[in-house]
A = this chain, B = another copy of it.
């Protein structure tokens, strides 16, 4: 009898069912679906249009208000492939990462708390809001990147005049899987400042030099990376050949360790020159992209995902992908990925697309699913 047929036989299925009565399971039947020959994540490629997210966030201002309680006005990107994870799809955007867009209105406050999940933020729009992280107010401007590794107090306030939007990314699904989360509200609603505003960013406004007082720090001494610095870095780098797969790309680092700014989530800013069409590759890690500037498309496993400013899309683990900039100027993609998790666990592998001179054959175009 052929193996698969055997595993589908009544004899086997009956036995499997009988085992379940005793809370036992048949490894022989399970292996192919649990230990895949190559990565086959629950999460699937998907793209969310900015118009939809923005509209829903604006509607949410009517429903979710700070005085009604709750922690944050954030709408997350729920990967259609992870709905079988209960509860709430574990708030999965990729298998391990959660991404959301948060909206805070002038005068609002998002209360301070801390948790075992690590968080980062990318500022999409607006100014005048701040995060208070461990007693330091970090004022946020478009293009800034902020990191709040696990265990640090953080809350938000807004002293400006316009709505403020930012991307949040956390390792919520990954930490959820371990069963080991802690979460604690701050005794004050919003933690009072105990350090100068923007302390870290001002101390680190040079290049690869570090205040001597920050030698041997265990925490993240730098919480806010200003756009002006990121821009200068991209400018310096763009004098040279871009990476064939990722364009001109930088990652934010922790000056205490030389590791990625957030221990479990890498954050990158990629500049795609005008007309740039990257080669395709795939890797074990997953990634979430936010289109900071420009328009173009990304081919993921043969499907074309067109994007323009503000959109978000997902490249799951081991999916072939390549990027094309159709803008008349440089496109800027901010992305987060779980490469640090893959490296920590020794799981990272990478493969270059082997056919068609490195470009995928396009099999179709993305169309949104509706539930």
Contacts and interface: CB of A to CB of B under 8 A. Distances in A.
Interface of A: 1-3, 6-7, 11-12, 15, 18-31, 33-43, 46, 48, 52-53, 56, 59-60, 63-64, 68-80, 84-91, 94-96, 100, 115-117, 150-151, 172-184, 196, 199, 202-213, 215, 222, 225-226, 229-237, 239-240, 243, 246, 249-259, 261, 263-264, 268-269, 284-286, 316-318, 338, 341-342, 344-347, 349, 368-371
Contact of A11 (B18, B63, B77, B87): B63
Chain copies in the assembled complex: 4
A268 B344 contact: no
Contacts of A15: 59-60, 63
B257 A31 contact: no
A318 B116 CA distance: 14
Contacts of A286: 179
B237 A316 contact: no
A369 B246 CA distance: 52
A236 to B, nearest CB: 4
Contacts of A172: 34-35
B23 A369 contact: yes
Contact of A79 (B23, B48, B249, B342): B23
Contacts of A1: 68
A294 to B, nearest CB: 19
A34 B342 CA distance: 22
A286 to B, nearest CB: 7
B205 A225 contact: no
Given A180-B39, A206-B231, A345-B264, A70 B7 contact: yes
A91 B251 contact: no
Contact of A212 (B12, B231, B251): B251
A208 B183 contact: no
Contacts of A100: 25, 27
Contacts of A6: 68-70
A86 B82 CA distance: 10
Contact of A371 (B23, B73, B199, B202): B23
B234 A182 contact: no
B246 A222 contact: no
B253 A233 contact: no
A68 B6 CA distance: 7
Nearest to A52: B22
Nearest to A226: B207
A169 to B, nearest CB: 12
A234 B212 CA distance: 11
A345 to B, nearest CB: 7
A1 B204 CA distance: 45
23 contacts: A3-B70, A12-B63, A20-B78, A22-B48, A23-B48, A23-B80, A24-B53, A25-B78, A30-B87, A36-B182, A37-B182, A40-B179, A95-B179, A180-B317, A202-B237, A204-B207, A205-B232, A205-B235, A206-B232, A206-B236, A207-B232, A211-B250, A258-B258
